[in-house]
Structure 1
Amino acid sequence: MKLDELVAIDIHTHAEEPCCGPRDDGYDEFQAGMAKYFRNPAGAKGMLPTVQETAAYYRERKIGCVIFPVDAERETGFRRYKNEEVAEIAAANSDIMIPFASIDPAKGKAGAREARRLMRDFGIKGFKFHPTMQGFYPNDRSAYVMYEAIAEEGAIALFHTGQTGVGSGMPGGMGMRLKYSNPMYLDDVAVDFPDMKIILAHPSFPWQEEALSVATHKPNVYIDLSGWSPKYFPPILVQYTNSILKHKMLFGSDWPAITPDRWLADFEKIGIKDEVRSLVLKENAAKLLKLA
């Protein structure tokens, strides 16, 4: 990856298309609900991009991207996209892609072994957790065996926080429980794993101030700004981005739900200081990912 040639680094992109054959029962309805929530017609029409198509899209725009699947098989019943497959495609597009993986913490020691193998053999740089989709509190001690593996290998842990579009508008929210994604639970994780870099994904509605508090207090905690158009950012988030957290805020789109084209266009229109924009768009991520 030639950092000088990139205009930005998107820290939050999804590998959405399932592996191992056709989509699972209910997957189309799930994606249609997501598409409605994010006003993304591609999802509603079953036209979500493959990882290879994602690479081409980002290469054309000279934007680096961190990409990952989400292992939520236990809670949703949908087969996960194989971590190895995502990593292999990312490796073939290493000029533009950085692979993260996802393992349900409920897989315990077996999951931790998988995590170590992925980091050592497939170049995985971090792991995506979605407490609401995976149905766990991030500070549950049963997840710590997974965090120990990540911390020991020097990788990054990225956690969904706040409300989610997953299951939005579906009966019972598709079983998704929002309580698991309060960012304050990550405060415990940051205390217990002070050397593990932690990213709180998304503006954490309705717990935005909790997220800012944790990121301000704990040196190893960062925030990515994905999942929302910047025009909807609350004033306090913009204020902290411009000031005490300017070195800990990261550009993320939430591709394919939100495209970087849309996110970046709206980011240009909000009151971010000129000297802070480059930090958010590329410099902070480059340092965190050890690219610079």
Structure 2
Amino acid sequence: MRIDFHVHILPPEFIKNIDKNIERDAHFKLLHSTPKAKFATAEDVLEEMKKANIDKAVVFGFSCLDMGLAREFNDYIIDVVKRYEDKFIGFAVVPLNHKDTEKELIRCVEKGLKGVGEIIPEAVRVDISRQEEVGKFASICRELNLPILMHVNELVGHYYPGKGRMGPEHAYLFALNNPNNVIIYAHWGGGLLFYELMPEVRDTLKNVYYDTAASLYLYSPQIYEVTEKIGIENKILFGSDFPLISPLRYYREWDKINLAQELKIKIEGENAYKLLFKG
């Protein structure tokens, strides 16, 4: 089974009125204020999944500070998961410290959503290393048995719109402070995975996974093989970050390095299946 763990979708009407809607959230505007910005509906994703032979996709809106906007995104995810239950697994987005955060997450769980994310710390204005800012949110997710998909950045290298300040150290402390939460760190955890070579770090990160979203823009393709050398090949989840990048581009990259079939099977779906359906 092939599972894409990182896909953003938006309601058709939201996209139709994007010039107005882009002003509703500062971070959303930062990410999408260029002519090259891409947006996708559920049907766009289904078409791409067919091209790439993907069986299921984890879909969500965009992390935002406004609860009204988050509900709008979540309502669409709830709707498409209901309409395409054999294809989509839905995650919810929420501002972490709103008075209605718990209420909204309970609503989303009751409507069939299975996780939280992608949470972008800069978008919701939190420091994930500070438990006083994120502890209550983590506790709610733990009680509701919701995995958390969290955006993390590498803190070196080139700049791009949306590159934030929450890096490997912040991600490590979030996991250290919340050891019983299942956490998926997007974008290879900003490089946190390399620290799993340290035994005490690996122990702390026992419930942490990493997705490959935007890997083509960040790392050379050898990173996939490195995960096997580190010994964390069971913790890597394929995430395309569609519509930013097509899944087909990842397949071409894997072909370039002749990625071992056993490792490819784990990354492209086996690990995600165990997490989502057997965890």
User: Is residue 30 of structure 2 the alignment partner of residue 33 of structure 1?
Assistant: no
Contact (CA 8 Å) 1:230, 1:267: kept in 2 or not? no
**Gap runs ≥5 in structure 2:** none
Query: Which of residues 7, 11, 33 is equivalent to 2:5?
Result: 11
99, 116, 119: which one pairs with 2:106? 116
How far is the alpha carbon of 1:104 from its aligned partner? 1.2
1:208-265: CA deviations, max 9, x gaps? 6357765664210011111122893375663124550011111110000011111122
Q: Spell out the pairing of 1:170-189 with structure 2 (5 A cutoff).
A: 178-179=164-165, 181-189=166-174
**Please, which of 129, 132, 148 is the counterpart of residue 122 of structure 2?**
132
1:52: which partner in 2?
43
- What is the deviation of 1:30? 4.5
Residues in 2 aligned to 1:289 and 1:228: alpha-carbon distance in whole angstroms: 22
Aligned residues of 1:11 and 1:66 also touching (Cα < 8 A): yes
Shift, 1:60, TM fit: 5.1
Moved more, 62-71 or 268-277: 268-277
Q: 2:233 aligns with which of 222, 246, 249?
A: 246
What is the rounded CA distance, in whole Å, between the counterparts of 1:193 and 1:204 in structure 2?
Answer: 16
How many residue pairs are counted as aligned between the two chains? 263
Indicate the residue corresponding to 1:224 in structure 2: 211
Aligned to 2:59: 67
CA–CA separation in structure 2 for the residues paired with 1:240 and 1:131: 26
Letter in 2 for 1:9: I
From 249, 257, 263, the equivalent of 1:262 is 249
Confirm or deny that 1:87 pairs with 2:108: no
Structure 1 residues 91 and 212: alpha-carbon distance in aligned structure 2, compared to 1, 3 A threshold: farther
Contact 1:183 1:204 in 2 (8 A): yes
Q: Which runs of 5+ in 1 are unaligned?
A: 1-5, 36-41
1:209 equivalent to 2:209? Answer: no
TM-score (normalised: structure 2): 0.80
SS at match of 1:106: coil
Deviates more, 1:26-35 or 1:276-285: 26-35
In the alignment, the residues of structure 1 paired with residue 77 and residue 204 of structure 2 have an alpha-carbon distance, to the nearest angstrom, of 34
Residues 17 and 211 (structure 1 numbering): CA distance in 2 closer, same or farther, change over 3 Å? farther
> Identity rate of aligned residues, in percent?
23
Q: Are residues 217 and 193 of structure 1, via their aligned partners in 2, closer, same or farther at CA, if it must alter by over 3 Å? A: closer
Equivalents in 2 of 1:276, 1:226: separation in Å? 17
* TM-score, normalised relative to structure 1: 0.77
CA distance in 1 between partners of 2:50 and 2:223 (Å): 33
Q: CA RMSD in A?
A: 3.2
